[in-house]
Amino acid sequence: MTFVKNRVPALSHAQNAIPRDKLKSLFKSGVEAALMTGELPSRNHGWKSVFDKFIDLMGPDGSWFPSHAKVAEKAGVSERTAWAAINALESIGLIRVEARYLYDPEKGKTVRTSNLYEVVVTKAQRAIAILAAAARKAKEAAKRQWAIASRSSMAEWGRRVIHHLPATAAEDPQLN
């Protein structure tokens, strides 16, 4: 199995060039500033815990790809709360999310396996991360809409075919 390259380029800084402790402190100070300015709502219960545990799951080499379930387990919240908190971080540009894919030979297509997270360091990178997040979410929403539309059109087609089938052999004009 091989990884499929993502079309979105990596951030301009090398994650490994910045020490892990520095990335963690930049992330935590960014979260605190966002909470103070109101970019992140402070009233959401459990989000602060999610932010703290989320950054603690960064690997020693700066790699960072925990699952929503793992973050929720460590923070003591539901998976939905962890997912919402991480999405909020992405939407304001504190982190950058890169979807990772793997080719599944059984399904004959690439499937999403996990996300890779990056701490955004500069204001320019933050602006790029906000745009990338909006583009990724729009693409995913379009894929969902297309899937819903194709399922409903296939179901409608099936209803039309079944509706026009004769109920008995006597009603079939080709047999008469």
Closest CA to 132 of 100, 102, 95: 95
Between 74 and 42, where is the model more confident?
Answer: 74
Closest CA to 41 of 74, 95, 84: 84
pLDDT at position 74 is: 93
Kindly report the CATH class assigned to 3-130: mainly alpha
Average pLDDT over residues 92-103: 89
The amino acid at residue 11 is L
**pLDDT tens across 138-166, in order?**
888 888 888 888 777 766 666 665 555 55
Neighbours of 131 (CB within 10 A): 11
pTM of the model: 0.69
Question: Which tokens belong to 25?
Answer: 């402190």
In angstroms, rounded to a whole number, what is the distance separating the alpha carbons of residues 126 and 132? 10
Contacts of 30 (CB under 8 A, 6+ apart): 94, 120
Whole-number average pLDDT of the chain: 80
pLDDT at position 80 is: 93
Domain ranges of the chain: 3-130
